[in-house]
Amino acid sequence: MPWRSRHRGVDTGRVRHHLLDLSTATRTGVDGTTRQLVLVDDPAPGLGRVPVVTAHLLGTFRVSIEGVPVDTEASRRVRHLIAYLLTHRRAPVHRDVLMNVFWPNATPAAARNNLHVTLSALRQVLRAAGPHAVVERRFDAYRIGGQAAVWTDMEQFERLCDAGAQAERYGDGAAARHSYEAAGQLYEGDLLAEEPYLEWAAPIRETLRLTAIATQIRLVDSYLDRDDPASAATVARRVVAMDPCNELAHRQLLRCYAALDQRHLALAQYSRMTGLLWTSLRVAPSVETTALFQRLRQPGGRAAGWHGPSRRVAS
């Protein structure tokens, strides 16, 4: 099941604050030096106060301009086009790329006409939410931006994961943990979860999903390092729900239960994991997981150490 943020909506004032004031931050490493971490993009210079386009791509797809929802349901093609431009907004997308993605079997003339019609409909939908020029054209390429600043949960999620990894490299475990916690809250579900058969979204969706799993596994390690197995178990259960055949996440959960003196839950978890691995992959648990199970099943059994082979997060 996906991770749910406690706040479904996004305060555009807060987003603007991040865009305008928190474009960079600093972290102090264990060596005492201060380094700059890039967290969010600045809006284009010289625009003054700019409207904010807020887009949620992880989980339920929704877009708003200054808090006014954009109608993404009226036209499936418009919905897909705005999602594509938001997902690829770091550089303008050439017209030929859009034509090939959305109308691969049409003649060039028909594809150009279809793109023109869809872009016109997209601009109408965006104008209904605000008078701002949100779709920017540069020669024969298009991007979401123009006279608006853009915040997407996908980009913020990636920034948080990168910031967490960078903080780990600098030995700042608290900053890494904070970034990974925030990333987990943002990841409400897979990319465009309501559109599971979009071919162009599939590789991006899988990359984000694997990143989410990896960072949350790191977060479990961090909680265990801080002697907080209850929080670790909560995150480990989410990872297992998201990736039922992830043996490392199962093994982390076994260690969490052992640390919480809930050996019965650990043994039951091992049984479920064994069934899942065999049913889905026709494989048995690894030697390491089996050895952990054997220790736990002994009377008074505890895990000898909480951590597996994954790299630990400094406290």
Indicate which CATH number applies to the domain containing 262.
1.25.40.10
CA pair distance 246, 287, nearest whole angstrom: 15
Question: Closest by alpha carbon to 89, among 53, 37, 38, 45?
Answer: 53
Comparing 46 with 26, the larger pLDDT belongs to 46
Distances (CA, A) of 277 to 68, 98, 237, 310: 46, 41, 16, 20
CA pair distance 60, 56, nearest whole angstrom: 7
Phi-psi region of 146 (alpha: psi -120 to 50; beta: other; left: phi over 0): left
Q: Are residues 136 and 241 in the same domain?
A: no
Report yes or no on 221 lying in a domain: no
Segment 155-164 shows an average pLDDT of 97
| 217: three-class secondary structure by DSSP | helix
Whether 97 shows a pLDDT value over 90: the answer reads yes
As a whole number, the mean pLDDT across the chain is 84
Report yes or no on 196 lying in a domain: no
Distances (CA, A) of 38 to 14, 174, 178, 186, 242: 18, 18, 15, 18, 29
The predicted pLDDT at position 21 comes to 36
Report yes or no on 184 lying in a domain: no
Among 130, 152, 174, the domain-final residue is 152
Question: Exposed, middle or buried by CB within 10 Å (0-12, 13-18, 19+), for 26?
Answer: exposed
Segment 207-219 shows an average pLDDT of 97
Domain that includes residue 143, residue range: 12-152
Among 120, 136, 152, the domain-final residue is 152
The predicted pLDDT at position 146 comes to 74
Tokens encoding 269: 């978890």
Among 152, 178, 209, the domain-final residue is 152
Q: Are residues 130 and 249 in the same domain?
A: no
Q: Are residues 52 and 137 in the same domain?
A: yes
286: amino acid identity, one letter: S
% of the chain exceeding 70 in pLDDT: 80
Report yes or no on 192 lying in a domain: no
CA pair distance 52, 145, nearest whole angstrom: 9
Query: Which residues are bridge partners to 25 per DSSP?
Result: 37
The predicted pLDDT at position 283 comes to 96
Whether 255 shows a pLDDT value over 80: the answer reads yes
Q: Residue 62 is part of a domain; what is its CATH number?
A: 1.10.10.10
CB 79 within 8 A of CB 176: no
Angle 270-268-227 from CA coordinates, rounded to 5°: 75
Report yes or no on 101 lying in a domain: yes
253-286 b/e (C-beta count within 10 Å ≥ 16 → b): bbbbbbbeeebebbbebbeebbebbeeeeeeebe
Report yes or no on 180 lying in a domain: no
The predicted pLDDT at position 240 comes to 96
% of the chain exceeding 90 in pLDDT: 73
Q: Are residues 147 and 57 in the same domain?
A: yes
Report yes or no on 211 lying in a domain: no
Segment 120-137 shows an average pLDDT of 92
Q: What is the number of domains present in the chain?
A: 2
Report yes or no on 209 lying in a domain: no
